[in-house]
Amino acid sequence: MTTCHNDPVSARVAVVGTGYVGLTTAAALAHLGHDVVGIDIDAAKVERLRRGELPILEAGLDELVAEGVAAGRLRFTTDGIGTVGDRRFVFLCVPTPQGADGAADLSYIQEAARTLGPHLASDTVVVNKSTVPVGSARVVAAELRRDDVSVVSNPEFLREGSAVHDFLKPDRVVIGSDDRAAALDTAELYSSLNAPIMITDPASAETIKYASNAFLATKLSFINAVAAVCEAVGADVADVVTGMGYDTRIGREFLRPGPGWGGSCFPKDTLAMVRIAADAGYDFGLLKGVVEVNDQQFDRVVDKIRRGVAGPLEGATVALWGLTFKARTDDLRDSPALEVAERLSKAGAKVVAYDPTVEPGRSDPSLESVQVTATALEAVTGADVLAVMTEWDQFRWVDLGEVAEAMSGATVIDGRNLLNPTDVRAAGLRYDGIGRS
């Protein structure tokens, strides 16, 4: 392992895949002074980017993209083959969704490497930024079929909602490669960031990413389980977290109880880690438990809603506030809100939802079990129960008197512990949070 800090140099970079990670990477590297081309097979997405429209909601990303384009350091294309030939670094930021038996599906990354391999210049460094299991650097190298091209693993740790901040102010940059010169060259791309840069072997770099996400998911499942205990014994999880957090070995970060974790990373990455371990002969029982506790958490929220309905779920109307997997993103992938909505819908409930980033009538298969409204108040109109599923700040400021008047029932399930219980009760509503006495 090496930690290095060098002077910045400008490099020619291609970023393959312009989704949450790729677009942030492309814009941020351009911001750091590099010459960047973003490549995507989604022609509509590239067209929007060329028009200056952002296909995703991400704080500060529009300014960064505009800055890069205006400076002539950032452009977008669908023509990967015609572009990569003069690029020193080619970042792979394509999806690695959950495949069979929980393993990561590497087909997107293999396809990108296979297609672009013959068109790379000698001495190109192919940088795996997608989250990939141990051994993937070798898989990519095999698809490239190029002895004169190096592969490095450079996992990304950004969080949706603060992606730009996280990319430009990272806790660490991890680079794994068997080719030390390629790793050092990749490190140079980040040298103007005031961050520790860690150079290691590919297996360790790939494991660092999965272990980090698995640990964060473990913290969330742990505090959700503690919240369940709090409810059973009459303790308040907020005070418990504060009390635990004074212990510097524990800290307070990521100990926020909620409706279960989700999003495009934790669900697939925890299962992939279980599978990586199993393939290597280790039964990762702890992590399996973490996943199981999360599944139970969705059921716990559904149970709270069921109790709030004061009758069968069948035929009841449940209002959800929030559909994205967390606030400050428009990402619906594996959202806890949609997981709960599906379970409610299967039980025969009508689910009506409002989310500031989801317009009514949007065609999206993941929204099949939900009727989307244009306002938070519209969603609660005639509802038997309201459940807060995403911690959008604006939900704090909705007039609770109007909510109470609009609802036909009188129960609020606060899946994010976002609302003030006293205010909710003062409006004549029953309040039930997560682990709150």
Report the interface residues with ligand NAD, using CB under 6 A. 16-22, 39-42, 45, 80, 93-96, 108, 111-112, 130-131, 156, 158, 160, 264-265
d(CA 261, CA 291): 9
- Compute CA 10 distance to the chain's CA centroid, rounded to the nearest angstrom: 30
- Looking at the Cβ atoms of 161 and 260, the one nearer to ligand NAD is 161
Residue with the CB atom nearest ligand NAD in the bound state: 19
- Looking at the Cβ atoms of 91 and 354, the one nearer to ligand NAD is 91
d(CA 210, CA 132): 8
- Looking at the Cβ atoms of 36 and 158, the one nearer to ligand NAD is 158
CA distances from 407 to 97, 358, 379 (A): 39, 22, 9
Structure tokens at 353: 């939802």
- Looking at the Cβ atoms of 31 and 306, the one nearer to ligand NAD is 31
- Name the catalytic one among 4, 93, 230, 265: 265
- The residues, ordered by sequence, that sit 6+ positions from 129 with a Cβ below 8 Å of its Cβ are 21, 22, 25, 91, 92, 93, 154, 155, 156
- Looking at the Cβ atoms of 207 and 264, the one nearer to ligand NAD is 264
Length of the chain: 437
Q: How many CB atoms lie within 10 A of CB 365?
A: 5
Which position has the token pair 């709960």? Answer: 340
**Active site includes 265?**
yes
d(CA 99, CA 107): 9
Structure tokens at 396: 């704090």
Q: Residue 91: is it exposed, middle or buried by C-beta count within 10 angstroms (0-12/13-18/19+)?
A: buried
Q: Of 217, 236, 432, 430, which Cα lies nearest the Cα of 336? A: 217
Q: Which residues are catalytic?
A: 265
